[in-house]
Structure 1
Amino acid sequence: MSELKVAVITGAGSGIGRAVAIHLARAGYQVALAGRRLDALEETKKEGGALASNLHPIVTDVSDEGSVNALFAEVVRRWGRLDVLFNNAGRGGPPVPIEDLPVDIWKDIVNINLTGMFLCAQAAIRIMKSQTPQGGRIINNGSISAHAPRPFSIGYTATKHAVTGLTKSISLDTRAYRIACSQIDIGNAATPMTERMTKGVPQPDGSTRVEPRMDVNHVAQTITQMVSFPLETNVQFVTIMATTMPFVGRG
């Protein structure tokens, strides 16, 4: 890896993306902050404090091919290379029975959680293959739901299962170009997205229970460790979760 280290983080305006961005900036990366809301990206930059000069907001809609291509073109224009893509942007859906989920919401979940990851990976691979030195690292945000669904989560669960296929295909098809692809499956990190768990969430047995959460910075520390390895070493899959959350043996 060259002395200049460059990372792209999608969904960088809040939660996991924000925490990872700040940790990678601390590790010396120039970080492109990708997300749909400039005000949220600017807040991530502000929270970086003394690291703000390493954090660069770039408004991006990952579900739009033109917007994604513009993001990665800007990365090349500014820095001439790309070392890390953290494919983090995603959304859930309303907790409703399968037959009541509107098709337009289903399509939006697929467009962001799956097509968006594909588009970003595609653009990153093009850069990583052509740069000198060749290669880089792609980390896809899977989720505990890549293994076990929550009640009434078909859109989120189906796309997170699909992310595993995406990860495996990227790993296989790009290994000749020194591209390492990983998946991180995260359970109950303390972010605004999981705030509802402090009040109770539906369980498979029909009950509603409060679930424990973990510090989101532990996710960021894990990713920082993953990207610190040489490209000859890959953490193919990693699960990080609140120790006592109902995952193994759900509920």
Structure 2
Amino acid sequence: MTTKFDYSGKVAFVTGAGSGIGRATALAFAGAGADVAIADISAAGLDETASLIADAGGGVRAFPVDVADAAQVERAVTRAVEVFGRLDVAFNNAATFDAPGPVDTLEVETWNRIIAVNLSGIFHCVKYQAAAMLPRGGGAIINTGSVASEIASLGLTAYTASKHGVVGLTKKAALDYATRGLRVNAVLPGAIDTPMAAEFSGGTEEGRAAMVALEPMGRLGAPREIADVVLWLGSDAASFVTGHCVAVDGGWLAR
């Protein structure tokens, strides 16, 4: 667990916490002393993350949530505040993806679902998290974008569009709350060693090697390396940072 920052007495809310980057970040917040509200559409993954936090002595409450459903997000944020008494930092990480291909081959239903999760889901989270944080003087919200927030070379139509949208939403929200103590930033991961990346690569050694080949550093990133940046963005060490999208991508976007 990350221990570089002190989140003692604070409450974090993490979506997509059932695996990968979300799980690593929830564990990092707990390791730094925060109570953690975790949300995910996968009940099994959520339970596993909750057990890992609890077994390490952390305070945790799990909420099965489909972030595409605004009412579910609102209930989870409201309940988290009721349970822990406050909300200080949120990491909005839940996402899904479509198959590579030209725009005309993408099914409308697939487009709608990915936009609903990846972009509308972030909007739902920011909306209700901001409402919970502002009366207490603010906090920090970090959204998960992607290298696909800046480029389209992955070939994923809906995913690319949604992740571009996350950047725009992040910057707009940052300006909305810049004088009210609420900072809003984003992380843009490259190829990270997660179950989602494995699914995207087809779960084969060849697919994994192809992803590694895209990274100038010659390896996949670790979920912990994203968590470290998220904890920095949520801390007072980043007190003058808002509206910023931090690429954590092994140099991918520098090419």
- Asked if TM exceeds 0.5, the reply is yes
1:187-227 C-alpha deviation (Å, 9 max, x unpaired): 01111111228523798xxxx98543122211111212222
Measure the CA separation in 2 of the matches of 1:20 and 1:169: 24
User: In 1, are the aligned partners of 2:138 and 2:181 still within 8 Å (CA)?
Assistant: yes
Measure how far apart 1:98 and its partner are. 1.5
Q: Which moved more, 1:92-101 or 1:166-175?
A: 92-101
1:176-197 C-alpha deviation (Å, 9 max, x unpaired): 2100011111001111111228
Partner of residue 22 from structure 1, selected from 27, 33, 38 = 27
Corresponding residue SS for 1:175: coil
Amino-acid identity (%): 32
Measure how far apart 1:54 and its partner are. 2.0
Corresponding residue SS for 1:238: strand
Partner of residue 67 from structure 1, selected from 65, 68, 72 = 72
- Residues 156 and 229 of structure 1: CA distance in aligned 2, closer, same or farther (over 3 Å): same
Are residues 1:84 and 2:89 paired?
yes
- Superposed, 1:154-233 pairs within 5 Å as 154-195=157-198, 196=201, 198-200=205-207, 210-211=213-214, 212-229=219-236, 232-233=239-240
Measure the CA separation in 1 of the matches of 2:49 and 2:72: 20
Corresponding residue SS for 2:33: coil
TM, length-normalised to structure 1: 0.88
1:41-96 C-alpha deviation (Å, 9 max, x unpaired): 01112333643542321111111111011101101211221101101111110223
Q: CA RMSD in A?
A: 2.4
Q: How many residues align?
A: 241
Gaps of 5+ in 2: 1-5
Counterpart of 1:153? Answer: 156
Measure how far apart 1:2 and its partner are. 9.4
Measure how far apart 1:37 and its partner are. 1.8
Measure how far apart 1:230 and its partner are. 5.4
Counterpart of 2:3? Answer: none
- Structure 1 counterpart of 2:70, one-letter code: E
User: In 2, are the aligned partners of 1:200 and 1:210 still within 8 Å (CA)?
Assistant: no
- Residues 52 and 149 of structure 1: CA distance in aligned 2, closer, same or farther (over 3 Å): farther
Gaps of 5+ in 1: none
User: In 1, are the aligned partners of 2:145 and 2:186 still within 8 Å (CA)?
Assistant: yes
